[in-house]
Amino acid sequence: MALDPRLLEILACPVCKVKVDYDQANQKLICAKCGRRYPIKDDIPIMLVDEAEGGK
């Protein structure tokens, strides 16, 4: 199941406050500014900095 497009419109990186991009193949939300990758588990975006991968 894919994320709701309306949800994707309002999600932003909690660090940078920049809109995130959806990587459907890897089930991640990616911040273009800082590079953090937030996981999606059971169709729920986990927008916690401690759960993110990467970052500048």
Find the domain containing 28 and state its range. Answer: 5-51
Check which CATH number belongs to the domain holding 26 and give it.
2.20.25.10
From CA 56, how far away is CA 11, in angstroms rounded? 20
In a domain, 56, yes or no: no
Residues 6+ apart with CB under 8 A from 14: 47, 48, 49
In a domain, 22, yes or no: yes
Contacts 24+ apart (CB under 8 A), 45-52: 45/3, 45/7, 45/11, 47/11, 47/13, 47/14, 48/14, 49/14, 49/15
In a domain, 26, yes or no: yes
pLDDT digits (tens, 9 = 90+) for 1-56: 678 889 999 999 999 999 999 999 999 999 999 999 999 999 899 999 999 999 77
Residue 40 CB neighbours (<10 A):
18
Q: What is the pLDDT of residue 1?
A: 63
